[in-house]
Structure 1
Amino acid sequence: MIVSSAENEGCTTTAVNLAKALASDDKTKVLLIDGNLRSSSLHQVFGLDNKNGLLNILRGENDTEQAIKKPDIDNLFVVTSGKDAGHPGSIFDSQALRPLLDQFKNRFDFVILDAPPVTLYPDSISLCSKVDGVIFVVEAEKTRWEAAQQAKERLRAAGARILGGVLNKRKYYIPQAIYKRL
């Protein structure tokens, strides 16, 4: 699961880039899931229909085959958030979620879940105990360390296994020629 403490820190961009990098191996099948049901964007990133997505599976409105979409990238598959995802309620507490994630894990080599910000919605807290690990994204010069610390503590308290962090949107103030010599 890829998560951040606040909106617009680059969580979706990080998830997409990780999925593309993993899918570049011909022997690897990658599934990218839009778990940010309140502010979904993966369907826009890949130009896919947002109909029949994760929310619809969890509500029992369609099966997984209808929800798995294929963008124009080899070995990459996407499950969008689904229609009417604006107010998902406590859908991630559904008994259907864990078996669904297990089904995806058995079918794909990597399953990446783009999750909503930890400090804004309870969804990521509900999800973190159902995934193998969490990668935490922070935006350079924007994310306050207190907010990052609070989000990390909330994840840990919920049983998250934090695999690492990504410092996103870092600026380089020293000329590149000097960086090369360091």
Structure 2
Amino acid sequence: STTKPAGGRVLQLIGSSSGEGVSSLALDIAAIAASHEARKVLLIDVEPQLNEGAASALAHRGHTVAGVGAEGRTFQIDQSSLYVSAPIGAGGMLVSEDRWGQVIDNARANFDLVLIDSPPLQRSSAGIELAGLADMSLMVVEAEVTRASVALRLIERTEAAGGEIIGAILNKRVFHIPRFIYSRL
């Protein structure tokens, strides 16, 4: 994958339908990235469902969430190198389409890795609008639920917007054969 040469890298996670696990995976990837080599990581929470963003979810799990900066739109998690944005979009901080580039460029300048937790295409076109601003996108598909034609449509729309899907995460795989049988095969 080709990436922009200056500043931090921007990775977008996007899915086609609600419930595929994009937000959980984005939070996991952000936590892992922040724990390695003390990279400064920002998770941008775009249009979270029910307007409960990642910062609120982390606070409910017992993590220390502290606001940083004068605007109070970014939160540091457990005094680590992991930061989470306030919910952007529906019910949160509204950003017009023409300002998204500025938001991403500011994040790129201040963080080593910027992860975008995009809403599903089924619910919002914000993820497609952001695809062209990310260096790369990962598509999340739910095992045995997401149809191939729906995934292909998401790839086509992302590429038409100037984005690049570099891979897919198959999430929520179900093992129909018990694991102990797999070990004997």
- Report the TM-score, using the length of structure 1 for normalisation: 0.79
8 A Cα contact 1:39 1:86, kept in partner: no
Instruction: Please name the residue that 2:73 is paired with.
Output: 67
8 A Cα contact 1:38 1:86, kept in partner: no
* 1:68 Cα deviation after fit: 1.3
Instruction: Tell me, in whole angstroms, the C-alpha distance in 2 between the residues paired with 1:136 and 1:64.
Output: 34
Instruction: Please name the residue that 2:84 is paired with.
Output: 78
Identity rate of aligned residues, in percent? Answer: 32
* 1:87 Cα deviation after fit: 10
1:14 is the counterpart of 2:16: no
8 A Cα contact 2:87 2:93, kept in partner: no
Distance 1:178 1:26, change over 3 A: same
8 A Cα contact 1:92 1:123, kept in partner: no
Q: Which has the higher strand share?
A: 2
Structure 2 stretches lacking a partner, 5+ long: 1-11, 61-66
1:129 is the counterpart of 2:132: yes
1:1-182 aligned at under 5 Å gives the runs 1-36=12-47, 39-40=50-51, 41-47=53-59, 66-72=72-78, 74-81=80-87, 85=91, 91-94=95-98, 96-180=99-183
One-letter amino acid of the structure 1 residue matched with residue 165 of structure 2: I
8 A Cα contact 1:138 1:165, kept in partner: yes
8 A Cα contact 1:125 1:155, kept in partner: yes
Instruction: Tell me, in whole angstroms, the C-alpha distance in 2 between the residues paired with 1:139 and 1:158.
Output: 23
Structure 1 stretches lacking a partner, 5+ long: 53-62
Instruction: Tell me, in whole angstroms, the C-alpha distance in 1 between the residues paired with 2:155 and 2:163.
Output: 9
Distance 1:83 1:10, change over 3 A: closer
